[in-house]
Every structure is written in structure tokens, then in C-alpha cells.
Amino acid sequence: MPNTFGHLFRITTWGESHGKGVGVVVDGCPSRIPLTEEDIQKELDRRRPGQSKITTQRKEKDIAAILSGTFNGMTLGTPIMIWVKNEDARPEAYAEMEYIYRPSHADFTYQVKYGIRNWQGGGRASARETIGRVAGGAVAGKVLHTIYPSLEVISWVSEVHGLKAMCDPNTVSKESIESNILRWPDASNLEQVLKEIETAQREGDSVGGVIECVVRGMPTGLGEPVFDKLEADLAKAMLSLPASKGFEIGSGFRAARMKGSEHNDPFYMEGNKVRTRTNWSGGVQGGISNGENLYFRVAFKPVATLAREQQTVTVTGEEVILRARGRHDPCVLPRAVPIVEAMTKLVLADHALRQKALDLTAKSF
Amino acid sequence: MPNTFGHLFRITTWGESHGKGVGVVVDGCPSRIPLTEEDIQKELDRRRPGQSKITTQRKEKDIAAILSGTFNGMTLGTPIMIWVKNEDARPEAYAEMEYIYRPSHADFTYQVKYGIRNWQGGGRASARETIGRVAGGAVAGKVLHTIYPSLEVISWVSEVHGLKAMCDPNTVSKESIESNILRWPDASNLEQVLKEIETAQREGDSVGGVIECVVRGMPTGLGEPVFDKLEADLAKAMLSLPASKGFEIGSGFRAARMKGSEHNDPFYMEGNKVRTRTNWSGGVQGGISNGENLYFRVAFKPVATLAREQQTVTVTGEEVILRARGRHDPCVLPRAVPIVEAMTKLVLADHALRQKALDLTAKSF
Amino acid sequence: MPNTFGHLFRITTWGESHGKGVGVVVDGCPSRIPLTEEDIQKELDRRRPGQSKITTQRKEKDIAAILSGTFNGMTLGTPIMIWVKNEDARPEAYAEMEYIYRPSHADFTYQVKYGIRNWQGGGRASARETIGRVAGGAVAGKVLHTIYPSLEVISWVSEVHGLKAMCDPNTVSKESIESNILRWPDASNLEQVLKEIETAQREGDSVGGVIECVVRGMPTGLGEPVFDKLEADLAKAMLSLPASKGFEIGSGFRAARMKGSEHNDPFYMEGNKVRTRTNWSGGVQGGISNGENLYFRVAFKPVATLAREQQTVTVTGEEVILRARGRHDPCVLPRAVPIVEAMTKLVLADHALRQKALDLTAKSF
Amino acid sequence: MPNTFGHLFRITTWGESHGKGVGVVVDGCPSRIPLTEEDIQKELDRRRPGQSKITTQRKEKDIAAILSGTFNGMTLGTPIMIWVKNEDARPEAYAEMEYIYRPSHADFTYQVKYGIRNWQGGGRASARETIGRVAGGAVAGKVLHTIYPSLEVISWVSEVHGLKAMCDPNTVSKESIESNILRWPDASNLEQVLKEIETAQREGDSVGGVIECVVRGMPTGLGEPVFDKLEADLAKAMLSLPASKGFEIGSGFRAARMKGSEHNDPFYMEGNKVRTRTNWSGGVQGGISNGENLYFRVAFKPVATLAREQQTVTVTGEEVILRARGRHDPCVLPRAVPIVEAMTKLVLADHALRQKALDLTAKSF
């Protein structure tokens, strides 16, 4: 199911970067969830291009239109179709792409897999595809809010080209993150990081980084052993994002340098609640949430589009120099923050419904 | 589909560590693939406990019996059921577990999710569950060999408690890996690493590490955008393994410290073949294999079972000290090598069939 | 996956009868299939309301717009989004429906299931939803034509209110079917049947009937035992249609009155080809096509919307008389013909790709 | 997913008629459902061969062994593996089958699809495969009983070779059905029907028939529009059974002869409950259960194995006479009754969990 994600709460995204638009069908959404176009627009605005000087200058308003599935501001339990038109499509800017494979883009692999590609932009491989995910994630967020009113999903940029943001995932606030164009919660080195990005931009280059995500107010019991462990579905969600190269939960790769006596999270009681003193597990044990904060990190490579000459080949097998391109994101990280949040909400909403189905102790009808 | 993995080539694993056995049903396997119990046994023997002094001393022969799906040594195209009996089950050794949650095990989360658990061992959360994966992976390996005779999947332990194996994924040999009990391809520091593990073992402790995997002889075109990108399915496969905490492909988290001009893989021609000069992409671009070596890494935490006292709580909410346990793996890594390979083969076999379905340029009937 | 049908070639339909439109996302379609909006329009025009005096007078042009998935008239291998706007929506005509459950409609069941419904028409339960199926079926038809150029799917109305069309499924022609507004291949009693329908219409009543379908030029080997038998997937496809009440393949219910010695289809050789002398099997044995004509029948109930008073209840539990309604289809059968064909093509395209994936004797890459 | 059925509550069956056994893995079963081998054995005994003079004399005890998924007589929420050994396998009796295709069996179609088949019996196409369904259905029955204590699923043979049982589905009792070897609730013509079957048996022939099923105590709200309508999933379930040729719900094919004014089920109030005066809908409207009795019928062809000579062809394309075979079922209907019930329970359990997932009005955790 290449373009569908989720088992009970599921999205199917569609659309190319240069065509009549992109969108999503959300299926499996419970009925009677309040949902308006504004709920979706709010999240789309966070991923929109042209937000600041460090993002691409492509001008897209990215206006969400709900074509089905709601009635009087409530979900009907039927498929919710959301459409966002493409506006600033300039296919002529891509004319060269008909014949040339851009390095570390998907031009070559789409061509060998499908024998055809929409070369007027990145097609499905464009980051524009994530609009459908963000729109679907907004719906998932409404579902989660209905079931777990105190759950909150918070992401931020925690690393850019080797520079790191210091912050405590247990307390970091949305305000501190959204207060700057980078979505960087550490004021102490924000200027330094922005300067780094601007330098890359000036040099026609780009930089990679890491996004961290924490979910606070997590319920226990989400995640289904053995293949649909919560961290497995999150890993898939994150590695399905354009430009992502790695995922780690809790201790992550750091676990490779630890001993069991350091890594094990001792249980203790907090009132009636079972808690752990440390959280190297990242909120998941045996694939199931334990009620501690869910915590993971996602690595993103530097954007592949550069305003520099690069060596490459043509579709007919000649080695050529790819000319520099105009506008591009020198650092995709700030725009990826709402996308990471959206995928997290989609995974959690799906598992929330799956858990609801299994728990017979609550009679629901 | 909690216990099923794969879309066309799919496995369903079953069984608890203490019960009548564990196993797998392989569905969607093409017919007329040569398959015997020996093919499966060979892989099971690589993950078997008691292989060496650095693995658990649990004695299990882990004999594979094929109950259906083959005829005269060939697959029938019908479900292949493989059963491995549990033999060295000593449920009495776990009596204490009925009342106590072991730290960083799945006892607590299974209890809150299901309201019941087989406390006579780890149940489904036991690493014994991976027997079904390894058996299924052996079948997947036969399918891959039929379609791509020159494809090879090679994994090794590349890091243990901070010590690293130096080796070139493009040339590392199975022989150098399988020549030692750790599956460690770097002879220069093998003894040092083994000593580290033995020290941990003596101290009743355990150590984590990293497994690397390379697939050589990769075809182009495997992986389905956008959600079933090859790296997304691999990430899910790996994070569904017990004790895994992280996954990265190609540059991985290192990408966060790179610039686009360093990270982009320039294309060039090698005869008629499009190649890349570097392989930061790890063999996948836009979620589709580009024919370069597939290369990824998986982080594993130190085993949670320790021969040490630990703080924890009981099922009735009392804080207690968990007594030291007897046998355990001080380092799960060498036994995880065949498991990582199995999951890789499962992902590739599934995507090989999916790609075969889509390619209408070859008429197959 | 309530709104998704198919495993490899799959459609997801969306949209309510009164809202911004209805449509479909086709996923899993192979690339490089010629596809234009005209291909889809042609089929939509066959199911459109207002085609003749015996169908509803609702005026809808039902214009198909492809929003994604094609490029220069060819499929890209990416999701194909097709949208049909709702035009003649007259929600005010349904005002009464907010409070009253129409007998044998889905008003009551949607209300109890979802706790909300779009009462301005039938919502998802409206036959308008089948637009997405017909559009998706048109795409499936193009795929089938590419793989099996001589395969043809032919449906017709074979029974209306007890009157039967005499025709031989092995030879009936599209021309004879499409030559009249009823899609009835038997000229001998066509006028009588039309008169029957007009009488029902004049009386504010409606009539049921049967649609037959034959697929000629069938390949062998389609259908996957044991649950995805070809007839099982066809049965599900047909019973998922609004107003359908029964499905039978080959001998169908008539088999209940036969002996094995009559019902068994003797094999014989026609040149190199294995054939059967009779075809009580309906082209499928053991769930797999045997190369004979696929043949099945679908029963449809009389349309539930009547221009008559009926007893019913309100949402608040009062017994009331439902007033007569204006426009309606006295006989849904002719418009259901293209829908039955569409569902048939969807099932066959899906199984064609599934079979292609399994057949390793043809190397496809 | 050829050998898997269900979305949340799902079974995967495996095994050939002549091999080490047949079985099922039940996944998605909620935890803490009481379940023992006796619960399963009780249902298997009802489908066992050799029950009476009108069923095959093949001697199989069909003993169910649960290999995983339960603990202390309760389900764990993990996969339940049930294995039934093959005992009376006499592959030598099938020697001829290696070269000959039996008419209206699956020998030919399996051969063309898979290029190989287990010719020592029917393989997967044998009715023995339904053991896994019956075992899985027994588990589904326990789940249904937990959620809806008053729901009951009742099937019976209602037609054999044209003779019909008169009975009222709303009141027919299990006792009257199980009181005779035919599972025929009409004492008035039971002897006549049995005589018909014995005549067929004596003549080496077989007879077809119809099974009816009613579910009383149905909840409202089960079934998911639009493709997973309750009747669509039931139709698929029934047409996936060996030898079934047709399915109809409520009025079924009779609807084709009715007018809307006869067919519509008028609503009325019974206390607070919305009821319908007639039930032509068969308990489902718009694909969702309305609380009335679910009622449907399934047509079965006469058994294809005959003790008579038949014309057929060999695997090498020669026309030959197939010799008469020894033991067979002259009428499969009585043994199909528990199978129809099992498939019904599987569909209902799956939809019960799906509905539970969607209904947010009941907080379940």
C-alpha cells in the first residue's frame, strides 16, 4: 500500500509537486470529532514555504479545502478528502530536468522504477507530498485530543550542521520553539546556528540536522507486539519522510556504549502509578508505551538541491555538469518540525484506535 | 496486523518462550522454490543460544519442522508452516516474575496492555520470538536467490560498548565475520572486545552495540514511494526487533553534520550503468534502490536481564529489590546478526515481488 | 479499510452525494498505461443519471477531472486522483430527512453507527458513491487491456421484476446490450419489460432485477486460495454495491438442485488447451480461473426511494408517514451495468498483478 | 493476503490434506477470553468426517492442540496457534491423481497457477483446510459471547437436491437442527431427503443444497461502508468456502421479482427500539446491521468426487476415463453447517472489534 499509512486510522496521500495539487484522504476517522479547514490550515501554515529567509522562497499559500467527510464542522465517520492546489508551479524552471538526473534526488530511481516521471519538479518525491501528511496529522491530532485531552506532541530542531540545542525534553515549551524561525529552543546559540545556515545559503550549499520529538501525557498500552511495536511504526513513519536518514528512540545509538546496569530504567511507585526513574527506554518497553514521555530523534540530510555546479549524468548516459539552481531551502529542518509532529500523531491515533478495539473491559456498545 | 510482516511475501510469527514452541507461517511465497528443513536449520543454528561462552547457556536445539507448504523439496505456493519446539523451558526459574516487573523488560507494559501475561519467561517479548523471523528469513533468502542470484546480505557486529570494528562494507567477507564467536570482522581488536564482554558477564552486567548490514548485488527499483520506501520498511523491520533502539541508513545521523555539497552522491557512468561516486544515500534515493550497495546500521541496547540486584516494583505496587538471575546473554549482538539478516531478506523479498507485479514490460503469463 | 478495495491494484473512494463532490484515488496502478480523462468519462457517462426516461431525472454531468498520477497521457505509477463535482445537489429537497428515517435506506443505520449523518441526501450510502468505482474501474480496464488485449467484460440486465432476457453469455454482444436504454439483450420482450418499468414508475413504485456478467478471453491462474478465491473477491465486490442482495457464480443456486454427475465439467483437449465441455463452474475451480468464461449473476432489490407514502419513524422515536418523494430511479438496473463491470475489472486487475508477482518463471527485471 | 481473513480479528490457515496437519493462527484476539482446547474440539467434532452414514468414511479424530496464545485457560492477546494432525492420510489412494485432473476439482487450476501441486489428495483445495476456519471460528465465538452474551449464530441445511426444509429462521432451534445427521430442521420431510442422499450415494453420485444462517441478538452498527459492508464481508467469507456457488442476504434473488412497495421494510417503534415490520433487508441496511436478525443463504454444489467413471484429461494432454473412487461425501451439506457458522462468527468478531475502535462515546482506557 505504497501511498497509504496506518491500519485503522489511515491516510492515503496523492499528488505531484507540479500538477493540479496535492492532498490526502483520511479514512477510519471516528465520527463527531470537531474539524474545520482552520484546524488543518494552522498546521499547513507551519510547513509552508516562504515563511522566513532561511526557507525556500517558493510562494505557495497552501490553502486546505475539505471536499468530503465533515458536516456542520464535525466528522461524519466517512473519508475526509483534503485538497491543496499547486499555485507557484513553474515547470519551465525544470526544463533541464527532463534530460538530467539531479544528484541525490529521486530522478534516476523513479526513472528506472517507473520508466517515466513527471520531470517538472520532484513529482511525488517532492517535499510537497508531505502536505497530505500534515493535513492528515491535523485530523489525527483532533482525534488524540478527544481521547487523551492532556497529550501533547512537541518537536524541535535540536541539531544543525553539528551545532546542538540544549534543552530538556520533559520541560521544553512550544513557545520557546516557535519563537524563532528555526524552531530552535536554545536561545544561547540560536544566532550562531542561523549564521551557519546563512553562510551555507550564500555559498549555494545546504546543511543537515536532527529533529527531536517528545510526547507528554502518554497513555500506557499503545503499540502492538511484535511487528507493530510503537517504535517500529514510528521508525517507519520517520524514515518515510523525504531526506530523513536515521531514527533513534530513548537512548538510541548511545545505548551501544552503555552497560545494562546503566541503561535499565528502575521502576518505582509515584502514588498508584508505576514510573521509571530514568527513561532510556524512551517511553516504550516491549513495543508498548509505559506512560513515560515518548522521546525520539530523526536525522535529516542536507537538502540535495544546491545553487552550485555538480557532476551528474543524463538520461541517455552522458556525463555532464548540472548548472546551479535558483531558489531552494538551505536547511529543511524548521519546516520538517510540523511534519515530524504530524507523522507522530498519525501513528498514535492509529494505535489509540487499535488499543480501543482490544480492550474489552470497557463496553462501548 | 500485529504479528504479521510484509505485504506480498509475508510472515506471521507465533509462540511464547515458555509453551509448546514458537514458529512462523510464511504466506505469499512463490511456488517451485527449492526448500528443505536444512535450509532453515542452517540459519536457526546461527541464532541458537549456547553457541559460545558469550551467549546465554540456555540449551535449545531449536529444530525446525516444516508442517506444510512444501512437496518433494519444493514450495507449493501455499502457506509454509515452520514449528520449533521449546525444550529447555524452566518456568519454575521464573516463579518470582509472577509478582515482579523486571526493569526494562516488557513485564509491566504487557500487564497494563493485556491485563494478563505468561510470566513463565518473556512470553512474546522473549527473543525466542525471533526464531520465527529467522525461519521466515531463510525462506525469503531462497526466493531472493532465485530472482537475483548474485545478491548477498551480510551483517556483522560493528560496535560493542563503544569499541568499533574497522571494516569496509563493500568488501567485508562472510568468512571474516563468521570466523569468531562475536561475528566481528576486525581481527585487530577482537580480543579486546571479547575481554570487555567477559568482564561485563563476570560483573553480572551486559553491554550494547551496533550491527551493520550491507546488501551487495542490489537490483535497482526496489521500494515503493511514499510510505513504503525501502528504508522505511527496513527501519520498521529493525525497530521491531527486541532490544533495538536505532536505525540509520547511509550517512545516517552523520548527515546532520554534513553540507549538501559533501553529502550529494555525484552520478557517473560505468559502462552502460549509472553509478554514484560516493554512497551517502546508502543505496536508496527517494525510497527506491539505485543499484549501489544497501547499507544501514542498527543500535541494540544492553540486555536487560542482569545477574545483579535491581530496584523495581511488584504487580501490587510495592517497591522491592529484584534478585540476581542466573543465565543470560551478556551481549546479544552476535546472535542478533542472523536476525538482522533475516529481517533484511524479508523486506527485500517482499519488495522484489511487489516490483515484479508492477513491471508490465515483462509479460509473465 | 472501509473505503479501500483491492490488495495491489486498489481504489479508495470518497465523497458524499451532497457536498463538494465524489471521487477516487487509484493506487498501485502500473506506470506507462495510456490514460486520459476521456477514458474515464466514457464509463461515467454510462452510469450518469438522466440518461433516459427510466432513470432518475437528477441532472449531473459528472465530469471527471484527473488531479494527479498522469503525465502526457500516461500513468506515472503514482496515485491517480479523480474528482467529480456534485452539481445538481438540492439539499433543501431533503430537509425532511433530518428528522425521518426512510424505510430500507441507510438513514437509521448510519445514525446509530456514527451518531451523525449528512441528511442532505444519502451521503456515502448514495449510489453517487459508485462514481469513484466506475472511474477506478475505467483505469483497471486500461491495465487489463495492456496485459490481456483480448479480455472483455460484458454485463447486461437479465431480469426485471420476474421477466427474463434470453441470451447466451458466450456470444452476447455489447452492441445488442447498449442498443437500448435498459441494456437488455433480448429484443423479443424488451418492450414488455420497459412497459413494466413505466407502470411501476407511474405508480410511484420501483422494481428489482438481476445483472449478469461474463468475462471472455479469461487467462488461467487468477485468484488466490483460500480466502481470496476469485469468486470470493467478486462476491465481496458485488455485495458491496448499494441495493445488491445476492451473488452466484456458474451454476449458482441452481447447483442445489443438481447431482454431481450433472454438475461436474468434463475436461477435454482443444488442441493443446485444456477445456471443459460444460461450464457449471463459471470459469473458476478451487478459486482459480481455468480459462473458461467467467460468469456470474447479481441480484438487485427495487430502489427504496418511492413516490408513495410509507410508514416509518423519526429520529426521536415517533411513528410517522413519510411523504412521497419527487424524482427517483424506478429501476436502477441499467445504470448498475457499468458499475458491475467496473467492480469486475477492479477484481481482475488486482488479481492480474498478484499473479504477476508470483510467477517467477517470467523474469521481469 | 491469500490465506488470511479479517482485519482486526484475523485468522491465517495453513496445511494440506496430506501432510503433517492443518491449522490456524488467530491474531488480534483480545486478552482474557476464556479458551480451552475443548472449546475448539466441540466445533471440530461437528465438522469431522465419519460422523454418520451420509458423510465420508475417512477416519480422522481431528484433535485440536493449542500451541500458543493462552495461559491458564485464558487468551493472552498474542497469536493463538491451533494444530490438527492429519491421521488417516492414504496418499497411495491418490497415486492416479499425479497424472490425471479430476473434473470440477482444483487439480488443473492449481497446476497451471503454481506449476506444482501436492497430488496426494486435494492439498489446500481439500475441505480439510476448513478445519482451521472452524477452529478460528470457535475462538471468534468466545469473543462474541464476551461482547454480546445473547447473540447466537444458527445454521442449518435448508435445501438438498431441490427438497426444502420449512422452518422459521426467527424461531428455529439448535436442538431441532442437531437432532438428526443431516442438520435438517424439518421433521416432516427429513426421511425423504435422507433417502434421496442414500440413493445418490448408492449410484456413486452426490447432491448439492443450500445452507441458511440466522444471527439472533444482533447489535446495531456492525459493518463498515462502503466496501466492508457486513453483507460484502459475509459474501466473501461464504464464497471462499470450497464448493459454494452462491450467497444471498434477506430477500436475495427473490428481490429481483419484487416491487419497492413490497420490499421496503417499514420502521416502527417497539418501546424505545426502532424495529422493522418485515426483514427483506436481512438485518443489514447500507451495509450496517440494524438490529434485526441477520439472515442469509449459501448455495453448495454437489461434491465433485464421484464413485463413477468420468471423462477427463491427463497432465500431458491425453483424454482418459477417470476410474471410480472409493469413499466420498454424497452430500457435504451437514458438515458445512459448522463451517458456515464459523465464517459468520469470524466476520462478526472482526466487525465487533472494528466498531469498538470507532466508538469514542465509550472511553475504554
Highest mean pLDDT among A41-55, C351-365, D189-203: D189-203
Write out chain C residues lying below 8 Å of D104, CB-based. 260, 263-265, 280-281, 285
Among A18-27, A207-216, A319-328, D158-167, which stretch is predicted with the lowest mean pLDDT? A319-328
Are A264 and B304 a contacting pair at CB < 8 A? yes
pLDDT value of residue D326: 65
Mean pLDDT of B142-148: 97
Annotated binding site of A for FMN: 124-126, 286, 301-305, 327
Q: Where are the alpha helices (DSSP H) in D225-332?
A: 230-239, 260-263
The stretch B137-162 carries a mean pLDDT of 97
Q: Closest Cα to residue B322, out of B305, B343, B337?
A: B305
Overall residue count recorded for chain C in this entry? 365
Q: What is the distance in angstroms between the Cα of C109 and the nearest Cα belonging to chain D?
A: 6
Q: Which residues of C touch D200 (CB under 8 A)?
A: 259-260
How many Å apart are CA A324 and CA A306, to the nearest integer? 7
**C268 - beta bridge partners?**
C275
- C251 Cα to chain D: minimum distance (Å): 7
> C260 and D304: CB-CB below 8 Å?
yes
State the average pLDDT over residues A281-298: 98
Residue with cell 468530503: A68
Distance from CA of D79 to the nearest CA of B (A): 5
Structure confidence by residue, pLDDT tens digits, D6-58:
999 999 999 999 899 999 999 999 999 999 999 999 999 999 877 787 777 66
Cβ–Cβ under 8 Å, residues A109 and B288: yes
Q: CA of B118: which chain D residue's CA is closest? A: D71
Instruction: Name residue, grid cell 485531552.
Output: A149
D55-86 pLDDT, tens digit each: 776 677 899 999 999 999 999 999 999 999 99
Choose the weakest-confidence range: A58-72, C30-44, C219-233, C264-278.
Answer: A58-72
Helix (H, G, I), strand (E, B) or coil at D246: strand
D20 is in an annotated binding site: no
Q: Among partner residues D67, D115, D124, which is closest to B21 by beta-carbon distance?
A: D67
- What's residue C52's pLDDT? 80
- Give tens-digit pLDDT for B63-84: 999 999 999 999 999 999 999 9
Annotated binding site of A for NADP(+), which residues? 47, 53
- Angle ∠(C307,D251,C189) on CA atoms, nearest 5: 70
Residues at the binding site of B for FMN are 124-126, 286, 301-305, 327
Residue C331 confidence class, pLDDT cut points 50, 70, 90:
very high
Rg (CA), chain C: 21
**pLDDT tops 50 at residue B363:** no
Closest chain C CA to residue D272: C317
Task: Give the pLDDT score at B89.
Answer: 64
Please report the domains of chain A, with CATH numbers, ordered by start residue. 4-358 (3.60.150.10)
| Range D184-188 average pLDDT | 97
pLDDT at C365: 36
**C146–B contact, CB cutoff 8 A:** yes
Q: What is the C-alpha separation between D287 and D275, in angstroms, rounded?
A: 17
Which chain B residues contact residue C30 at CB under 8 A? 358-360
User: Helix (H, G, I), strand (E, B), or coil: what is residue D261?
Assistant: helix
pLDDT at site B365: 36
**Residue A199 CB contacts under 8 Å (≥ 6 apart), including other chains:** none
pLDDT, position A57: 67
User: What pLDDT, on a 0 to 100 scale, did the predictor assign at position D89?
Assistant: 64
pLDDT of C147 reads 96
Q: Dihedral of CA A175/A177/A183/A187: which sign?
A: positive
Q: Which residues of C, range 342-361, sit inside 8 Å of A by Cβ? A: none
Amino acid type, B122: G
Identify all chain A residues contacting B312, using CB atoms and an 8 Å cutoff.
Answer: 266-267
Measure C241 CA to nearest chain A CA, in Å: 16
Average model confidence (pLDDT) for chain B? Answer: 94
CA distance B308 to chain D (A): 29
Model pLDDT, residue C165:
98
How distant is the Cα of A240 from the closest Cα of chain D, in angstroms?
23
Decide if D103 contacts C267 (C-beta within 8 A).
Answer: yes
| Nearest CB to C246; choose among D206, D248, D272 | D248
Phi, psi at residue C118, to the nearest 5°?
A: -80, 95
Q: For residues B198-203, give the mean pLDDT.
A: 95
What size, in residues, is chain B? 365
- Is residue A359 within 8 Å of residue A151, measured between CB atoms? no
**Using CA atoms, how far apart are residues A84 and A86, in angstroms rounded to an integer?**
7
* Out of B12, B78, B79, closest to residue D79 by CB: B12
Contact state of A125 with B286 under an 8 Å Cβ cutoff: yes
For residues C43 and C138, the answer to whether their CB atoms sit within 8 Å is yes
B243-294: per-residue pLDDT in tens?
999 999 999 999 999 999 999 999 999 999 999 999 999 999 999 999 999 9
Q: Which residues of C touch B360 (CB under 8 A)?
A: 30, 32-33, 143, 146-147, 356
Q: Which residue, C125, C209, C241, C193, is CA-closest to D260?
A: C209
Partner-chain residue, chosen from C31, C65, C66, that has the shortest CB–CB distance to A116: C31
Q: What backbone torsions phi and psi does residue A84 show, to the nearest 5 degrees? A: -125, 120
Judged against a pLDDT cut of 80, whether residue C58 lies above it is answered with: no
Using CB atoms, which residue from B146, B225, B357 is nearest to C357?
A: B357
Q: What is the pLDDT of residues A77-91, one digit of tens each?
A: 999 999 999 987 676
Residue B172 — pLDDT band, cuts 50, 70, 90? very high
Q: Collect all residues with Cβ–Cβ distance below 8 Å to C216 and sequence separation of at least 6.
A: C151, C152, C154, C170, C293
Contacts of A365 in chain D (CB under 8 A): 219, 221, 355-356, 359, 362
Q: Which residues are C24's β-sheet partners?
A: C13, C82
- Which one, of C225, C215, C235, C217, lies nearest residue C354 by Cα? C225
Q: Which of B164, B285, B346 to substitute to test the interface with A, most A CBs within 10 Å? A: B285
Residues 61-120 of A with CB under 8 A from C: 65-69, 71, 74, 76-81, 83, 113-118
Contact D356 A354 (CB under 8 A): no
Q: How far does the CA of residue D19 sit from the closest CA of chain B (Å)?
A: 6
| Alpha helix positions (H), A240-314 | 260-263
Reported as a pLDDT band with limits 50, 70 and 90, residue B57 is low
For residues A323 and C197, the model is more confident at: C197
Which chains reach chain A with 3 or more Cβ–Cβ distances below 8 angstroms? Answer: B, C, D
Pick among B230, B238, B301 to test the A interface (most A CBs inside 10 A): B301
Rounded to the nearest angstrom, the minimum Cα separation between A221 and chain D is: 9
- What pLDDT does B91 receive? 67
Task: Tell me D303's DSSP state.
Answer: P
* Chain D residues 18-57 within an 8 A CB cutoff of chain C: none
User: pLDDT of C108-156, one tens digit each?
Assistant: 999 999 999 999 888 999 999 999 999 999 999 999 999 999 999 999 9
Q: Alpha-carbon torsion B137, B140, B146, B148, what sign?
A: negative
Counting residues of chain D whose pLDDT is more than 70, the rounded percentage is: 97
Helix H, strand E, coil C: the string for chain B is CCCEECCCCEEEEEECCCCCCEEEEEECCCCCCECCHHHHHHHHHHHCCCCCCCCCCCCCCCCEEEEECEECCEECCCCEEEEECCCCCCHHHHHHHHCECCCCCCHHHHHHHHCCCCCCCCHHHCHHHHHHHHHHHHHHHHHHHHHCCCCEEEEEEEEECCEECCCCCCCCCHHHHHCCCCCCCCCCCHHHHHHHHHHHHHCCCCECEEEEEEEECCCECCCECCCECHHHHHHHHHHCCCCEEEEEECCHHHHHHCEHHHHCCCEEEECCEEEECCCCCCCEECCEEECCCEEEEEEECCCCCCCCCEEEEECCCCEEEECCCCCCCCCCHHHHHHHHHHHHHHHHHHHHHHHHHHCCCCCCC
The grid coordinates listed for C174 are 455489447
| Interface touch A353/D355, C-beta < 8 Å | no
D364 and A365 within 8 Å at the Cβ level: the answer is no
Statement: residue B93 has pLDDT above 90: no
The arithmetic mean of pLDDT across residues B144-156, rounded, is: 97
Chain C interface test: which of A11, A14, A109 (most C C-beta within 10 Å): A14
Q: How far apart are CA B38 and CA A162, in angstroms?
A: 49
Which parts of C are annotated binding residues? 47, 53, 124-126, 286, 301-305, 327
Q: Quickly tell me which residue has 541525490 as its cell.
A: A104
Q: What is the pLDDT of residue B60?
A: 78
**Residue-wise over D294-319: b if at least 16 C-beta within 10 A, else e?**
bbbbbbbbbbbbbbbebebbbbeeee
D72 to chain C, closest Cα gap in Å: 32
Nearest to A355 among D360, D362, D365 (CB): D365
Report, as an integer, the average pLDDT of A107-112: 97
Q: How far is D357 from chain B (nearest CA, A)?
A: 15
Instruction: Kindly list the residues from chain D whose CB atom is less than 8 angstroms away from the CB atom of residue A286.
Output: none
> Considering only residues 285 to 344 of chain C, which have any Cβ-Cβ distance to chain D shorter than 8 Å?
285-291, 299-306, 308, 310-313, 317-319
Q: C362 to chain B: which residues are within 8 Å by CB?
A: 362-365
Question: Can you give the pLDDT at residue C53?
Answer: 78
pLDDT number for residue A363: 44
pLDDT for position C363: 44
Q: Cβ contact (<8 Å) for C15 and A123?
A: no
Does a cis peptide bond (omega within 30 degrees of 0) precede residue B112?
Answer: no
Q: Which residues of A51-73 are buried (b: 16+ CB within 10 A; e: fewer)?
A: eeebbbebebebebebbbbbbee
| Residue in C closest to B32 by C-alpha | C360
Percentage of residues in chain C having pLDDT higher than 70: 97
Q: What does the buried/exposed string (b/e) look like for A229-243 if buried means 16 or more CB atoms within 10 Å of the residue's CB?
A: bbbbbbbbbbbbbbb
Angle at C117 between CA C115 and CA C122, to 5 degrees: 145
Of B32, B357, B361, the CB nearest to C354: B357
